[in-house]
Structure 1
């Protein structure tokens, strides 16, 4: 028996790396598809495989930890954990420059959204190092941020006078320019707020709203992407990242790119179409549960008006808060990609 145990232990030691480095990882919302379908399998299964066992992870989400999404990067900088992921728009109180990552109304499909994120990434990497002492590992999408309303909505004009929960500061600014009242309410509080009439409408991703049951307390879906794509920035404490060996740093970045970012982006467009099908009760929905919301397509006039508000009011407002340097960098990168320029 002793001989058998010794042989088993020797085999285990030879098959595993001598010094696996375990990362403490805090992911995004635990009840949404990004965490369930992409973050969880990556950190718990793919990471050890893709790094030859050199890196492993213990994963939880910020809501399971009982912390706010806005606190993730701040706590990451304080070395409370090694890796953190949250919606960039949640943290713009600390870093208004990050709003430039996710501009509403300029990306109507996943390919356009990914091109915008790719253009913004060098800027985001500098912001994360400067503001949060963190290294960007990857940027993954939520679906486009659409509008869920309780009560009939047929165009952007119908949002005037309504109380609308925005998904970020740029979105809220846009809603206010339309004549709506922008309301700041946490994602988890939206269903109850819609049900009680505290708000009339709310902005979030189609898949997020479906998963969280927003369709049970709303009946009209305006599919114009008023809130952009709400990208989630996955970052690592800079000291922790810099302390890894060069091989492990390269392996980690490659693994996140191939094992987490790429699958999430690949699923984004099909996921959007499927989510809208489920929210509106179409036969293309692959889920057992189907909602019956009324889909409202934006008119050409709506789109033209929205773009005008974006260029005349929303982007200049952001540039003033972020500063001339970041506005200039945005013009040279994201702006060139999406065909917009912020006047300075």
Structure 2
């Protein structure tokens, strides 16, 4: 074999080696402290916990070990997770992005209500927003974005009888984020700030009349025991949960370890959670109304209130005329333009 062929073969092998996944011996021995989202909800039980305690350690050949808890088990509010992550209290944190918008109002653009009504559209919206979220997490919270996963669409649980969107006028409603609360106020409802775990008691005592959360989250938390009517218009968006790692901790890892974490979390956590979201709403409605099979357990008997065409038109008008312009004032014109050019282009909405 001539020298040129030998050199080319060696170069080809080297290039192939560089392109190949990191070898197990290149993975660092790392112990990570991880704080997940709500411990009692399906996202944590079905996806977060298995990924961090089983999938990632096994993929690393045992070199990555994880100490996992959740913010509610720690006694920490969801809105404090990224602030504590920035301070290095733990290595990885997960929480609902809308919980943290007091610190980063531009993060509200990740989960605008009503612009995505099915999992495919919601995932496209999130992918369009990802570069924005990467910058926000780095600049606001000193962290590296790892994943964005969905809760089910945020629907309305009400104790008093309702027949449509207009019946929310005058009611006290717990929103699932600031943008949703602004939307409710534009409809003539009173937005009330109540912690997720306190909602059933607040409904029973009349502190609130209705509350918004994910369909599966409301089922798992037993909201159906305190609410009688279920309206499926996704007023609260998808309550995206952002997973991020403290930036200094991330940068302390070698390239092979970073590559392993990113590839594993993309395939076995993020993609898996989105794939499962596709059929979740129908199953959740069956569980909450008793109309259909409920594989999750006991069926409830809530009355289903499906949105009318007039409800959808009203919701879209309020979103475009009131909610998004108000967010532009809070987040700033630069972020609103960036949203219009990315997320807005995907969902067909422009902020004037």
- TM range, smaller chain: over 0.9
Q: Structure 1: any 5+ residue segments left out of the alignment?
A: 1-14
Given the alignment of the two structures, is residue 333 of structure 1 paired with residue 333 of structure 2, yes or no?
A: no
Given the alignment of the two structures, is residue 313 of structure 1 paired with residue 313 of structure 2, yes or no?
A: no
Contact 1:17 1:53 in 2 (8 A): no
Per the alignment, residue 88 of structure 2 pairs with 79
Q: CA deviation at 1:20?
A: 2.0
Given the alignment of the two structures, is residue 137 of structure 1 paired with residue 151 of structure 2, yes or no?
A: no
Determine helix, strand or coil for the equivalent of 1:138.
strand
Contact 1:51 1:255 in 2 (8 A): no
Matches within 5 A, 1:243-262: 243-262=252-271
Contact 2:26 2:256 in 1 (8 A): no
- CA 1:19–1:304 in 2, change beyond 3 Å: closer, same or farther? closer
Q: CA deviation at 1:273?
A: 1.2
Per the alignment, residue 293 of structure 1 pairs with 302
- Which of 186, 200, 211 matches 1:191? 200
Per the alignment, residue 123 of structure 1 pairs with 132
Given the alignment of the two structures, is residue 204 of structure 1 paired with residue 220 of structure 2, yes or no?
A: no
Q: 1:316 & 1:291 partners in 2: Cα distance?
A: 39
Given the alignment of the two structures, is residue 150 of structure 1 paired with residue 155 of structure 2, yes or no?
A: no
Matches within 5 A, 1:1-344: 20-343=29-352
TM-score relative to the length of structure 1: 0.94
Q: 2:120 & 2:68 partners in 1: Cα distance?
A: 29
Q: CA deviation at 1:282?
A: 1.8
Contact 1:54 1:248 in 2 (8 A): no
**What is the root-mean-square deviation in Å for CA atoms of aligned residues?**
1.3
- CA 1:18–1:237 in 2, change beyond 3 Å: closer, same or farther? closer
Q: 1:157 & 1:207 partners in 2: Cα distance?
A: 25
- CA 1:196–1:16 in 2, change beyond 3 Å: closer, same or farther? farther
Q: 1:310 & 1:120 partners in 2: Cα distance?
A: 18
Q: CA deviation at 1:50?
A: 2.2
Q: CA deviation at 1:17?
A: 8.8
Q: CA deviation at 1:324?
A: 1.2
Q: 1:260 & 1:225 partners in 2: Cα distance?
A: 24
Q: CA deviation at 1:19?
A: 5.2
Q: 1:97 & 1:261 partners in 2: Cα distance?
A: 22
Deviation string 1:162-208 (CA, Å, 9 cap, x unpaired) is: 00000000000000000000001100110000001110000000000
Deviation string 1:272-305 (CA, Å, 9 cap, x unpaired) is: 2111110000232213311000010101111011
Q: 1:254 & 1:18 partners in 2: Cα distance?
A: 13
Q: 1:79 & 1:288 partners in 2: Cα distance?
A: 39
The number of aligned residues is 329
Q: 2:269 & 2:31 partners in 1: Cα distance?
A: 18
Q: CA deviation at 1:48?
A: 1.2
Contact 1:62 1:68 in 2 (8 A): yes
Q: Structure 2: any 5+ residue segments left out of the alignment?
A: 1-23
- CA 1:342–1:19 in 2, change beyond 3 Å: closer, same or farther? closer
Contact 1:16 1:53 in 2 (8 A): no
Q: CA deviation at 1:322?
A: 0.3
TM-score relative to the length of structure 2: 0.92
Q: 2:33 & 2:26 partners in 1: Cα distance?
A: 19
Q: CA deviation at 1:16?
A: 9.3
Q: 2:327 & 2:264 partners in 1: Cα distance?
A: 34
